[in-house]
Amino acid sequence: MIALQKMKAEYDFSQGERGKFYSSDAVFSFPVYLEPDASDLSQLVDETRVGIQELTNPMNDFEIKDRISSWIRQLSEAETLPQDIQAIYVGLFEGSDRYQIYLTGSRAYDPEDDDWACNQDFDPTCKYLDRGVSTQDDWQTFEQAVVDIVRTMLDDDLTTILHQAAHVSVGFDGGNLNHITQSC
Give 85-111 pLDDT, tens digit per residue.
999 999 999 887 788 999 999 999 999
**Looking at the domain assignment, is residue 24 inside a domain?**
no
Angle between helices 139-156 and 61-78 (to 10 degrees): 50
**Looking at the domain assignment, is residue 8 inside a domain?**
no
Q: pLDDT value at position 173?
A: 93
3-state SS assignment for residue 66? helix
**Looking at the domain assignment, is residue 33 inside a domain?**
yes
Please list the residues that pair with 104 across neighbouring strands.
89
**Alpha-carbon distance 162 to 116, whole Å?**
17
- 116 and 128 inside one domain: yes
**Looking at the domain assignment, is residue 17 inside a domain?**
no
Buried b (16+ CB within 10 A) or exposed e, 12-51: eeeeeeeeeeeeeeeeeeeeeeeeeeeeeeeeeeeeeebe
CA separation (Å) from 80 to 16, 108, 169? 63, 18, 18
- 67 and 127 inside one domain: yes
Q: pLDDT value at position 59?
A: 60
- 169 and 86 inside one domain: yes
Answer for the pair 147, 181: CB distance below 8 angstroms, yes or no.
Answer: no
The structural domain count of the chain equals 2
Q: pLDDT value at position 184?
A: 42
- 48 and 110 inside one domain: no
Domain that residue 48 falls in: 29-57
- 119 and 156 inside one domain: yes
- 127 and 46 inside one domain: no
**Looking at the domain assignment, is residue 91 inside a domain?**
yes
**In a 10 Å sphere around its CB, with 0-12 CB exposed, 13-18 middle and 19+ buried, how is residue 88 labelled?**
buried
- 76 and 116 inside one domain: yes
Measured in whole angstroms, the distance separating CA 88 from the mean position of its chain's CA atoms is 19
- 48 and 131 inside one domain: no
Write out the chain's pLDDT in tens, 184 residues: 566 778 888 888 888 888 877 788 877 777 666 666 665 656 666 665 556 555 555 566 778 888 899 999 999 999 999 999 999 999 999 887 788 999 999 999 999 999 999 999 999 998 998 777 777 778 898 899 999 999 999 988 778 999 999 999 999 999 999 999 754 4
Is the whole model's pTM more than 0.75, yes or no? no
**Looking at the domain assignment, is residue 76 inside a domain?**
yes
Q: pLDDT value at position 57?
A: 53
- 97 and 114 inside one domain: yes
Q: pLDDT value at position 58?
A: 54
- 66 and 142 inside one domain: yes
CA separation (Å) from 94 to 38, 100, 150? 21, 6, 19
- 84 and 98 inside one domain: yes
- 63 and 111 inside one domain: yes
